[in-house]
Amino acid sequence: MNYYSLKNPKHKVSFQQAVVDGLAPDGGLYMPERLPVLPKEFIASLERISKEEIAFTVARPFVDLSFSDAVLKQIVSETVDFDFPLIEIEENLYVLELFHGPTLAFKDVGARFMARILKHIAQNSKQIITVLVATSGDTGSAVAHGFFGVEGIEVVILYPAGKVSTLQEKQLATLGKNIHAIKVDGSFDDCQHLVKTAFLDHDLRQSKFLTSANSINIARLIPQSFYYFFAAASLKQRNPLVFSVPSGNFGNLTAGVLAKRMGLPVHAFVASTNINDVVPHYIHTSEFLPRPSIPTISNAMDVGNPSNFERLLELYNHNWESFAHEIKGYSFSDDETRKAIEEVYTTKRYVLDPHGAVGYLGLKAYLKNQTGSTGILLETAHPSKFPEVVESSIHQKIDLHPSLQSLQTKPVMSLSCSTDFSDFKNLLFSIK
């Protein structure tokens, strides 16, 4: 399987090169040159197959043969070695909990997969690999823990000052060793711009072996398709499936569309966003109008120019009608999000995090005029990562997850940086 640049389809590279490059030299995102269709027998037997076997079968067509079956099986086994429970909270409305990994967020899957892929690559390379990642919340902590202590890899995480939760900052900026946190005086979009600019800088590319761990990297994207298959495997009935995806940079939703293209029977997707609604606006009007992001209580979704929108367009052949037919978009305010957290806790005794609450609202909006569908919302982070928001919404204390309690006394170790690329470039050169 080769991968091509969205800016120049004639530029093609191997999976390994696409992972190492992160972005193509022309700044384009990489896409697989074809989308494999998995055997119908595999889809029909999902509920009888282990999640490790599902993950291997989904990943195998995308990963080149420099990774043997044995190596890839080990990688996916270590990637998905925690639970992905599907919880019914209303009739035909389920929550897929994706927060049982080490950093309590769905991004653990992509980060763990990519860390192990890069470790395998680094073992055959004499250079230190520098991984760059911009985060609006959970990506940074998942990448930090996924790569912590991996020999031959240095990780640089950029996050917007004052715009991630206290616990999220603690998770990504207290590890040290090969994990370097940089606090940027700007927004997530500023952080993402610095990362993209670094890949286009000749001096940096000559002196450092750069790659990215954002969902712009194909090795982050592919494994996120696993849990759509896991959800289908957990369901006994076969009503049309509708997935509501809390969306910021849209990697998670793109992975769902990949799963559908591979043969998973999905009826529709719901792009659920906060007031940073550039994609719902596109769905409703056919106009894509990126703009500066606005801070919200669902901060991991505060993205005003989502990178993976380009991949979604490609998957729908740049056809707005096809895109809008299969993906429905809704956006919600902070007040609506808080009310949803309160309502679900009061009526269902289930605690949603702010991102899951946005997903719940989107799913309810879609299902209002639909009958006979099974709705699945992706609960992307553990609610105790956002105690202030959740507790003020349900009007009572929640238990802090044990893994978060241990962070309370750890000091934050981060460097400060402006949004000026030259400042960031100088910081990168100072990291050995």
Structural Rg of the chain based on CA atoms: 20
pTM, rounded to two decimals: 0.89
> Which spans in 269-375 are helix H?
278-285, 309-315, 320-326, 334-348, 354-367
Tracing tokens 């380009």 back to the chain, one arrives at 310
10-residue block means of pLDDT along the chain (432 residues)?
Answer: 95 94 89 96 94 98 94 96 95 95 91 90 80 82 87 92 85 91 92 90 86 84 96 86 95 96 96 97 97 91 92 97 97 98 96 97 93 92 92 94 84 93 92 73
- To the nearest 10 degrees (0 to 180), the angle between helices 387-394 and 334-348 is 60
391-404: burial string, b at 16+ Cβ within 10 Å, e else: bebbeeeeebbeeb
pLDDT for residue 163: 86
pLDDT for residue 108: 92
Q: Which CATH number applies to 84-103+224-401: 3.40.640.10, 3.90.470.10, 3.40.50.1100, 3.40.50.300?
A: 3.40.50.1100
pLDDT for residue 270: 98
pLDDT for residue 137: 67
pLDDT for residue 432: 66
Sort strands 129-134 and 153-160 into parallel, antiparallel or unpaired.
Answer: parallel
CB 304 within 8 A of CB 276: yes
Domain boundaries, the chain: 84-103+224-401
CB 348 within 8 A of CB 93: no
Which DSSP string corresponds to 233-282? HH-SS-PPEEEEEE-SSSHHHHHHHHHHHTT--EEEEEEEESS--HHHHH
Q: How many CB atoms lie within 10 A of CB 64?
A: 14
Tracing tokens 């996050």 back to the chain, one arrives at 159
Q: How many residues comprise the chain?
A: 432
- To the nearest 10 degrees (0 to 180), the angle between helices 421-430 and 188-199 is 70
3-state secondary structure of 382: coil
